[in-house]
Structure 1
Amino acid sequence: MPKLKLDIASKVLRLANPLRVAGYTFETWEVIVVTLDDGARRGRGEASGIYFLGDDAANMRAAIEDVRAAVEGGLDREALRSLLPPGGARNAIDCALWELEAARSGKPVWQLAGVPQPRPVVTTFTLSADTPIEMARGAVGYVDARAIKIKLTGDLALDLQRVHAIRAARPDVWLGVDGNQGFVRDQLDALIPALVEQRVSLLEQPLARGEEAALEGLASPIPIAGDESIVSLADVTAAPSQFQIVNIKLDKCGGLTEGLLMAAEARRLGLGVMVGTMIGTSLATAPGFVLAQLCDFVDLDGATFIVEDRLPSVAYRDGTVFAGPDVWGSGRP
């Protein structure tokens, strides 16, 4: 392959409102953007990293610099999987390689990836942890939302008040909750029946990463999704005894290449597939949107958290998300 020029840029995104999850509050979010240029065409990839693994912008940049020579030498996506571990650095390069390949071939990324031609998909819209009243107001504010995901903190009594208030405010929507590792196993015996009562359809990552074994044998009428516990393809193997849904995030697994492999393996094992995203611009959302065409659950609202998105942007309309070909990976030079 021709030699490439690699550029790394970083940008601090300002959030419109603080994002509160179990153990963290965010008001800004730093991302990196990798651009690969062969002199005639280019490819781009944006990554946020994974905060709970210490995968921040500085570490991502350092990891990319360590492999600069190999990347500029023209490695392919499969070689990249061997060169870098899962994480934001690999995600940024992998997505840039996909877009570059699309530009060289004249085919859009979705076609190269072998997924159906993209269509708008229903996405969840996330409510940051707050008082029940404020979260209910937020739910009402999501006028077009068909699906809402609620961030919980592990404070069982308060969390149940939050869910009850939101369900009362929005009896019409699909509801899921995200524990963000905030609960312990003993709390689930009270939490799950209460969620069933409020017609909650998904429970995401209730226990801490490393405590997954406590979920084995749990008969939950609500499917449980693994997020922090399932980083990459290697983690999918153990999932069937602990989770019913695999939440794939490209920043966790290291790009669309690995994400597609994870989705295929999850299906082989009889698991449901979910795609999520960290906070980022539309450039980070678009590769996940390609994967979303294969998923049961879609959580691609990361671009809605920031004050200013890049142009062109993904479109949020009538509770759906759509990344048009002008956003990323169009197959045009």
Structure 2
Amino acid sequence: MALNFTWYTESFRLAKEFKISRGAKTHAHVLVLEVSSVGNVKLTGWAEAVPYARYNESIESVVVQLEEASQHISQLADQANLTKLLPPGSARNLLDCALWDFRAKLENKSVISLLGMKQPSAVLSAQTLSVDSIETMQSEAKLLSHLPLLKVKLDANDIVEKMKAIHAACPNSDFIIDANESWNIKILNKVLPKLTQLNVKLIEQPLPADNDAGLLDINSPIALCADESCHTAERLPELIGKYQAINIKLDKTGGLSEALALAKAAKDAKLQIMLGCMVASSLAMAPIYLLSELADYVDLDGPVLVANDRENGFIFEECRMSAPPNLLWGTG
């Protein structure tokens, strides 16, 4: 069956400005890929990705990769060659996930059944607090004080003071801190003893990915999670001893196929698993949601962060995330 590839950009306005240590944004700019059959039987699979400047990607650079790679994919079986055609990243993610969706429609089976895995039930997803002033973050936290798990974006400023204020607003919540590479080893050593008293369960990427060797000397009472340092299963051994957890994102692994391989390797290595996302719609969340049964933490609140999600997207009841019967991706 011959295949045709079409890609286009979309922009989702965010419900509110989203801030992390390296910048802020008001819109999510995404790239969508559609894979369609050529001939009498018309089938279309699709996927969504967020090219990320942190990994030297732009929408333009990913489009160039798609233009080149799509010329070497003439049939569904060519999905197995994606790792030879493309490095891990958004382009490979788009092709891999769109081909999985296409396969589900072609075989009239869900992707989860094709993988031979258990369908996730409603899962607890962290809700995100953007980095801001102490007062603003505490005020935002009060609105989420009934939720059991919050992810807090922080930079290197007022770390403990902000967490004390947030903890006071949400005394019964657990916290994941995401530093987005903004700390150094001195800061980490200084704040760790105090953060242990504030329900912090995980600290995500405290040090820059290319300067995290110092973590080998840290005996952290809080699990440290690799995000920017973690991409594929092949490089996982480099993280052992530095981190106790990894954050799996499709735009880093290059799609669902590698994400599953990475999750299995992490399980074998006795590492905790967090499922993460870029800010995007439910279409970007749907493939990685299938790995929820393997995860210790789920952080897939992208659809909550956009002002208007796609039709047939995920259902969020407070912090509980579940898929509707006719989810927009992967249901065959």
1:219-276 CA distances to partner (integer Å, 9 max, x unpaired)?
Answer: 0010000000112222212111111001100011100000000000011111111110
* Residue aligned with 2:45, SS: strand
Contact 1:275 1:298 in 2 (8 A): yes
- Equivalence map 1:58-207=2 (5 Å): 58-142=60-144, 145-155=147-157, 158-207=158-207
Q: Normalising by structure 1, report the TM-score.
A: 0.95
SS in 2 for 1:197: coil
- Of 61-70 and 321-330, the range deviating more from structure 2: 321-330
Unaligned segments of structure 1, at least 5 residues: none
* RMSD of aligned residue pairs (Cα, Å): 1.4
- Letter matched to residue 218 of structure 1: I
Q: Aligned in 2, Cα 1:31/1:83: closer, same or farther, shift over 3 Å?
A: same
Contact 2:33 2:98 in 1 (8 A): yes
Q: Aligned pair in 2 of structure 1 residues 325, 240: CA closer, same or farther (>3 Å)? A: farther
How many residues of Structure 1 are paired with residues of Structure 2 in the alignment?
Answer: 329
- Preserved contact between residue 102 and residue 329 of structure 1 (Cα < 8 Å): no
Give, as a single letter, the amino acid of the residue that structure 2 aligns with 1:150. V
* Residue 207 (structure 1) shift: 0.1
What amino acid sits opposite 1:247 in the alignment? N
Question: Which moves more between the two structures, 302-311 or 270-279?
Answer: 302-311
In structure 2, what is the equivalent of residue 244 of structure 1? 244
CA distance in 2, matches of 1:286, 1:74: 20
Which sits farther off after the overlay, 21-30 or 293-302?
A: 21-30
**Contact 2:15–2:305 at 8 Å: present in 1 too?**
yes
Q: Is the 8 A contact 2:100 2:330 kept in 1?
A: no
CA distance in 2, matches of 1:194, 1:114: 44
Taking only the aligned residue pairs, the percentage that are identical comes to: 31
Q: Assess, with a 3 A threshold, how the Cα gap between structure 1 residues 143 and 324 changes in structure 2: closer, same or farther.
A: farther
Aligned letter for 1:35? E
Are 1:247 and 1:274, in contact at CA under 8 Å, matched by a contact in 2?
yes
Q: Classify 1:117/1:269 alpha carbon distance in 2 versus 1 (closer, same or farther; 3 Å).
A: same
In the TM superposition, residue 51 of structure 1 has moved relative to its aligned partner by 2.9
Letter in 1 for 2:9: S
1:9 aligns with 2:8: yes
Tell me, in whole angstroms, the C-alpha distance in 2 between the residues paired with 1:288 and 1:243. 22
TM-score by length of 2: 0.95
